[in-house]
Amino acid sequence: VGTSLEEAKAILHRYRIEKLPLIDDEGNLRGLITYKDILKKLDFPNAATDGRGRLLVGAAVGVGQELDDRLEMLLDVGVDAVAVDTAHGHSAGVLLAIRRIKMIAPDLPVLAGNVVTAEGVDALVDAGADVIKIGVGAGSICTTRIVAGSGVPQITAVAECAAAGAARGVPVIADGGIKYSGDIVKALAAGANAVMLGSLLAGLEEAPGELVIYEGRRFKEYRGMGSMGAMKGRAADRYATAQSSGDRAGMVGKLVPEGIEGQVPFKGSLSDYVYQLMGGLRSGMGYVGAADLAELRAKARFTRITGAGLLESHPHSVLITKEAPNYQVNGR
C-alpha cells in the first residue's frame, strides 16, 4: 500500500524487526511484509506473480458432473488459470467443458489438451482454449500407445500442432517425452512455446512421491495418471473410462490402466536441477546461434538419425564411474 520493497527492507533493518504491517489511509490492516518475503523476492526475481505479488496458481478440472462446483470454488479462491486435464483432448466432453468454463468465466485463461493433430488444435481453439497441450503416449510412465494403439511420436506432434497453434495465435506446450535438457531444446525448436515435465522432476526433493531405499540407492515413487493406483482415485475421469464414477476402489478388476507405477532415482533439490536444465537450454541455443526462442525456431535444423547415431550421441566405449548432475544412463 504505497511502500516499496526497498523502503520496507530499510524499515525492518532500522528497527530490527521481522514483520511490517501495511495499513491504508483509514488505518485498516491490508497486508504484512516479512523479511522472508523480501529474501524470496531477491532470490527469485523471475517468479511468476500477480499484481499483488502472489505466486500464480493454476488448477486442473475434469469434464464430469463436478466441473461447475469445482470451478466455482476455484474462482472463489482466486485461481489464475484452469486446465481441462484429459488424456484425449479432441473429444466432445472436453470441447463442452471449455465452452462451459468460458461461459462462466470469460476472462479466465484455459489450458486444454491433450491433442496431437492440427485438427485437434483447431477444435480446442474454436471452443475457447487459450493454451493447447500436446502429447499422447509420450510420457515415461504412459502405456497409451501400447494399450490403446493411439498416439503420435512427440516431435512430429509438436511440429504439426505448433504450426496450427501459431496460425491461430495460440501457444502450445509439449507434454511428455522429455528425458534430458537437450529434449527441451528440440521441443522448443520444433515450435513449442513451453514444455511440461513429469518424470524429469519426479525424483526431486520437492516432488510428492515417497522416498524409498532400493539396493542401497534412494528413489522416489512415481506413477502415471493412467496407472491403476491413480485411476482408483480421481484420475479415472481423465481417461474417460466407463467406471469413472462410483466406487472405483471396488472395481479394480474392471479398470483399464494406460500407465504404470514405478520409481525414479532421487536427484536432490529442484533449484539445483532446474539450473542444470536451464544451462542445457542455453548451451543448445548457443550451438544454434540463437539469442531467443524465436531465433531458435528459425535457425534450428532437424536431421534424421539411425540407431547407431543415437548410440553415438550418448557416452560410449567407457564405463561411467561418476554420474554427471544432468545425465543419467538411459534417462534414469
Candidate list 100, 223, 238, 297, residue with the active-site label: 238
Candidate list 142, 161, 223, 297, residue with the active-site label: 142
Query: 149: how many CB neighbours lie within 10 A of its CB?
Result: 8
Any idea how long the chain is? 332
248 as an active site residue: the answer is no
The one-letter amino acid at 39: L
Q: Where does residue 330 fall: left (phi above 0), alpha (psi -120 to 50 degrees), or beta otherwise?
A: left
The CA distance from 50 to 260, in Å, is 37
261-265/172-175 β-pairing: unpaired
DSSP 68-127: HHHHHHHHHTT-SEEEEE-S--SSHHHHHHHHHHHHH-TTS-EEEEEE-SHHHHHHHHHH
The one-letter amino acid at 82: V
238 as an active site residue: the answer is yes
DSSP 251-287: GGGG---SB-EEEEE--B-HHHHHHHHHHHHHHHHHH
| Catalytic sites, residue numbers | 142, 238
